[in-house]
Amino acid sequence: QVQLVESGGGLVPPGGSLRLSCVASERSFGLDAMGWFRQTPGKEREFVAAINWNAGRTMYADSVKGRFTISRNNQKMTLYLQMDNLKPEDSAVYYCNGRQSFNNFPGLGVGYWGQGTQVTVSS
């Protein structure tokens, strides 16, 4: 079974930076792509960014373009999300997602999910 474990969340002031990580289990080799979603209470989970494991193609939500960077380390089976110039509206629980096709992003309801990591942007 695929397991995804996120880390790196925390409290940061507006304009600050954080880097999230997501480690995939050994049984994740069948996954073609991984991505990040986020969710706040009372709202639907929303797409943030995605990357294709082999080709490195990327996709971003408009709200994070130019501020967030998604990357991966294939040898370590680790996904990253570098978040710069954070805003209060970026506060959410961030979830890692793995799926068999990059083309299925940015849709919801597909693939495997981590347990989430809380990001709070506040002064």
pLDDT tens track, the chain, 123 positions: 788 999 999 999 999 999 999 998 866 667 889 999 999 999 999 999 999 988 889 999 999 999 999 999 988 889 999 999 999 999 999 999 999 889 999 998 778 999 999 999 999
| CA angle (104 as vertex; 51, 75 as ends), nearest 5 | 30
| Residue-level pLDDT at 90 | 98
Residue 52 is predicted with a pLDDT of 92
